[in-house]
Amino acid sequence: MRIDKRVGIIGAGHIGDAMISGLLRSRILIPDKIQASDNNREICVKIAEAHGISCQTDNRKLVEESGVVIVAVKPKDIVAVLKGIKDVTTPDHLVISVAAGVKIGYIEKRLGGKVQVVRVMPNIPVVVGVGMTVLSAGVNVTEENLKVARVIFSSVGRVAVVEEKNLDAVTGLSGGGPAYICLVIEALCDAGVKVGLPRDVAMTLAAQTTLGSAKMVLESGRDPAELREMVATPGGVTVEGVKALEAGGLRAAFREAVLRATARSKELAME
């Protein structure tokens, strides 16, 4: 599905660059329908050359020329960005914020109250097109524009919609999740080396096994516990490994990781 509106992305860092790549690769947008801005002129030049799109340093001009504005900047930079574009943002604009912890109401107040705001929490795998993005819509957002937001982020992975009150939990689970899983991959690799595998082989085995397991869960629609039982047959090899993980407190450790990250997300929220 293509989008008729022109999309402007403020902030051409990792997430902004990934969004541009995904939108063009999926053909949701053609180059003439997407533009970017960044306060670093060198980054703008690189983005323009890499993607064949317009990239500028003037956020106000970008907003004036776009129907959808994706604010892909860090939370510490969003105050200045919103202040700079307030006078050119209208109720017809769809503003999508990627800034972690910055609440919809905070953005609405600084853009005049009536603007359509969607807050999103993508995770870092969007840079390779297999991210998990969760959306939450403000009260002014039309059904059509919520659909536009879903289509945009479907270009870089899967999309879900939740109420804003759940976004801290999303941050704790899927936002921080890639770091947790990378720690698992690292641990599996180290264990593989310990039992005699070359490190590069162990790393490939650990990463591909993680990828395949996740794909199996998503595409089969079956409960992870059921799929685990398919591998960990009673009296077999794998069940001994599972017993070791349970004894080591794996479940409790992951639960605590999500709880702590969620709590920290709430502490850092900008309302």
Q: What is the CATH number of the domain that holds 74?
A: 3.40.50.720
Q: Is residue 63 part of a domain?
A: yes
User: For the chain, which residues score pLDDT lower than 50?
Assistant: none
Domain finish residue from 167, 184, 205: 167
In a domain, 2, yes or no: no
Interstrand relation of 7-10 and 94-97 (parallel, antiparallel or unpaired): unpaired
What are φ and ψ of residue 209, in 5° steps? Answer: -65, -40
Residue bearing tokens 């960005």:
81
Nearest CA to 8 out of 102, 25, 123, 19 is that of 19
Q: Are residues 124 and 34 in the same domain?
A: yes
232 and 182 both lie in a single domain: yes
Tell me whether residue 97 is in a domain.
Answer: yes
What's the total number of domains in the chain? 2
Q: Looking at the structure, do residues 143 and 194 belong to the same domain, yes or no?
A: no
| Beta carbons within 10 angstroms of residue 77's beta carbon | 14
User: Which domain covers residue 254, as residue numbers?
Assistant: 175-267
**What is the predicted pLDDT for the residue at 66?**
97
pLDDT for position 90: 95
Is 193 in the same domain as 120?
A: no
Judgement on whether residues 63 and 132 belong to the same structural domain of the protein: yes
At 190 the pLDDT is 98
- 90 and 109 part of one domain: yes
Apex 57 CA angle, 16 and 36, nearest 5: 30
Q: Can you give the length of the chain in residues?
A: 271
E-strand stretches of the chain: 7-10, 34-37, 54-56, 68-71, 94-97, 116-122, 131-137, 157-161
DSSP 90: -
Q: Tell me, what's the pLDDT at 156?
A: 96
Per-residue pLDDT, 271: 81
CATH of the domain at 183: 1.10.3730.10
Domain boundary among 167, 197, 223: 167
Q: Give the pLDDT of residue 2.
A: 76
| Dist. CA 129–CA 125, nearest whole Å | 7
At residue 113, the pLDDT reads 78
Q: Are residues 222 and 98 in the same domain?
A: no
pLDDT for 269 equals 87
pLDDT value for 40: 93
Indicate whether 206 and 247 sit together in one domain: yes
Q: What is the dihedral of CA 230, 235, 238, 241, to 10 degrees?
A: 130
